């Protein structure tokens, strides 16, 4: 069965040559059967169509299959009629199915012009694609007058080409229709084989050796590089077969080793690795639990640390505030006034002791009152002077306390000291009570400082525990 993707003839035609006016022959499956009585024109049709359309050579021995009468092409154009000159055409239409599944057509033909008075025959050749003679390409105008060369070129336009040289025409045929023919030499071999096979009574004069030689010559040339590669491959075939046998032996030994030994090893290794995987998975679960617990403890430690930090900041603020108050109090003039008050107290006590001595002496010497009346007056004057001095000093100290901002704290003391009922003993007790209050404030300051230091140490310990738990969790996760 022929290949539908290769060109094969579908129609052929002879126009205004020999006794044909405009004859079209239809092929079936690339084949043409001509039947008729003798002298009906079968041989002449074959002579004018094939292989002439594929060649273009008008030599008599190439045209006449009998090679006896040797009619020239000049006779086929004007010698067989009474006209002085004549123009005629022969053509063959080829068809195939392209890669897209569409029908592709190419028409090749030859135009001939001869004059009775001149022996030569002018020829032109054409190849046109997609156009069909008699339908969208007319070689005969009005059914009587064939086209000239120039008219044919104008009618074809861009759909094809018109050639004056046979070599260019045959080259275009090899590019379009005869794609299996590689060069001019193979083209001539094909034409020679066609002329040989079209001879009448071929079976009587058939030369099998000659036909075989022509068929061999018509085959495409063998690639020498391919032949060299094939020869090299044949030389290496034996070594490749030996290598293949060795490889098959190695394959069998490897297969036997795999079935007897390596498979058991793989199973044991698989069981061991599966056990290790299960252990690792269990350890991962434990580590995940430990990590979750550590994360919870870490969050709690962070919360405790934040709470302790807040307490520390509050304690530090209180300590700073109290230390500021302490520094302000110690550096104030009121603190110096307290010392002066203590000195005045001691002086008052001394004066009171002197007054008591005087009173005792007055009591003892009551009997001698009259004798010592002068001394008593002097003693009273001294006492009054001491009281005046103490009152003056007390007012001065109270003023300094008010200027130092301690007026509210020293007001009770001032009122009691200003009272006439205050004795040196009660004065000493009041000053001692005020000093004890300041000492209590300083003690509270010291306690707050100690609490702040304890909070800082607790925060450091919480952070250390957090880092330790995070390290243990990371180690468990990596395991």
Question: What single DSSP character describes residue 30?
Answer: T
Terminal-to-terminal C-alpha distance of the chain: 75
pLDDT for position 108: 92
Element (H, E) at 196: helix 184-197
46 is written with which tokens?
């074959």
Tokens for 233, please give them.
Answer: 């491959």
**pTM score of the predicted model:** 0.45
Give me the phi and psi of 6, to 5 degrees please.
Answer: -105, 145
231 vs 225: CA distance, rounded Å: 10
CA distance 292 to 395: 73
Residue 368 confidence (pLDDT):
59
Which residues, 6 or more positions from 122, have their beta carbon under 8 angstroms from its beta carbon?
Answer: 112, 113, 114
- Measure the CA–CA gap between 95 and 107, rounded to whole angstroms: 9
Nearest one of 203, 207, 208, 174 to 188, comparing CA atoms: 174
User: What pLDDT score does 93 carry?
Assistant: 92
User: What are the φ and ψ backbone dihedral angles of 109, each rounded to 5 degrees?
Assistant: -160, 170
Tell me the DSSP string of 318-336: HHHHHHHHHHHHHHSHHHH
- Output the DSSP codes for 352-421: HHHHHHHHHHHHHTGGGHHHHHHHHHHHHHHHHHHHHHHHHHHHHHHHHHHHTT-HHHHHHHHHHHHSTT
Q: Bridge partners of 28?
A: 31
Contacts of residues 179-187 at CB distance under 8 Å and 24 or more positions apart, as own/partner, are: 179/6, 179/7, 180/6, 180/220, 182/220, 182/221, 186/218, 186/220, 186/221
- Rounded to whole angstroms, the Cα distance separating 472 from 479 reads 11
Residue 309 is classified by DSSP as H
For 465, list phi and psi in degrees, rounded to 5. -60, -40
Give the pair of three-digit tokens for residue 82: 């009474």
Burial degree of 27 (CB within 10 A; 0-12, 13-18, 19+): middle
77 closest CA partner among 119, 105, 46, 124:
119
Structure token pair of residue 119: 């022996």
Nearest to 46 by CA among 74, 23, 21, 65: 65
Alpha-carbon span 133 to 261, nearest angstrom? 81
Pairing type for strands 145-146 and 140-141 reads: antiparallel
In tens digits, what is the pLDDT along the chain, a chain of 479 residues? 467 778 889 999 988 888 888 888 998 888 888 887 877 777 788 888 888 888 888 777 777 655 555 577 888 888 778 778 888 899 999 998 888 888 889 999 999 888 888 888 888 999 998 888 888 888 888 767 888 889 888 988 888 889 988 889 888 988 888 888 878 887 787 877 777 776 655 555 566 776 676 666 656 666 677 777 777 777 788 788 888 889 999 998 888 888 888 888 888 888 888 888 888 888 888 888 888 888 888 888 888 888 888 888 888 888 888 888 777 776 766 666 556 666 667 776 777 777 677 767 766 665 555 555 565 566 567 666 766 666 676 666 666 556 655 556 556 666 665 555 556 556 556 556 655 655 565 566 567 667 667 777 777 777 777 777 767 766 666 65
Q: What is the pLDDT of residue 125?
A: 92
């Amino acid at each position: 069965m022929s290949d539908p993707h290769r060109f094969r003839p579908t129609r052929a035609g002879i126009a205004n040559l020999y006794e044909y006016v405009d004859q079209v022959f239809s092929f079936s499956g690339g084949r043409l059967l001509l039947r008729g009585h003798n002298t009906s024109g079968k041989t002449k049709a074959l002579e004018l169509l094939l292989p002439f359309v594929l060649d273009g050579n008008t030599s008599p021995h190439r045209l006449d299959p009998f090679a006896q009468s040797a009619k020239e092409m000049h006779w086929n154009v004007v010698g067989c009629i009474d006209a002085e000159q004549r123009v005629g055409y022969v053509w063959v239409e080829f068809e195939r199915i392209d890669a897209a599944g569409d029908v592709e057509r190419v028409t090749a033909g030859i135009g001939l012009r001869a004059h009775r008075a001149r022996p030569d025959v002018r020829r032109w050749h054409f190849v046109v694609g997609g156009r069909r003679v008699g339908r969208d390409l007319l070689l005969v105008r009005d059914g009587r007058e064939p086209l000239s060369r120039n008219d044919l070129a104008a009618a074809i336009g861009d759909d094809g080409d018109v050639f004056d040289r046979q070599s260019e025409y045959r080259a275009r045929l090899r590019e379009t229709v005869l794609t299996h023919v590689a060069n001019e030499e193979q083209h001539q071999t094909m034409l020679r084989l066609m002329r040989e096979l079209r001879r009448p009574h071929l079976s009587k004069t058939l030369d099998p050796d000659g036909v075989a030689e022509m068929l061999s010559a018509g085959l495409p040339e063998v690639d020498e590089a391919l032949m060299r590669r094939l020869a090299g491959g044949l030389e290496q075939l034996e070594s490749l077969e030996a290598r293949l046998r060795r490889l098959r032996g190695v394959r069998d030994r490897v297969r036997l080793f795999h079935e007897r030994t390596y498979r058991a090893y793989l199973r044991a290794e698989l069981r061991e690795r599966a056990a290790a995987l299960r252990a690792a998975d269990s350890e991962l679960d434990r580590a995940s639990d430990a990590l979750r617990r550590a994360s919870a403890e870490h969050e709690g430690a962070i919360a405790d640390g934040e709470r302790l930090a807040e307490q520390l900041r509050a304690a530090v603020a209180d300590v700073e505030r109290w230390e500021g108050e302490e520094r302000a109090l110690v550096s104030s003039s009121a603190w110096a006034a307290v010392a002066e008050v203590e000195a005045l107290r001691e002086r008052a006590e001394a004066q009171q002791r002197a007054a008591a001595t005087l009173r005792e002496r007055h009591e003892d010497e009551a009997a001698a009152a009259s004798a010592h009346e002068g001394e008593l007056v002097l003693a009273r004057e001294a006492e009054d002077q001491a009281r005046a001095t103490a009152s003056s000093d007390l007012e001065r100290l109270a003023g300094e306390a008010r200027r130092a901002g301690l007026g509210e704290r020293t007001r009770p003391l001032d009122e009691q000291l200003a009272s006439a009922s205050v004795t040196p003993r009660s004065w000493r007790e009041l000053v001692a009570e005020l000093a004890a209050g300041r000492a209590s404030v300083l003690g509270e300051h010291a306690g707050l400082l100690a609490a702040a230091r304890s909070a800082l140490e607790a925060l450091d310990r919480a952070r250390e525990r957090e880092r330790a738990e995070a390290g243990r969790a990371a180690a468990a996760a990596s395991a």
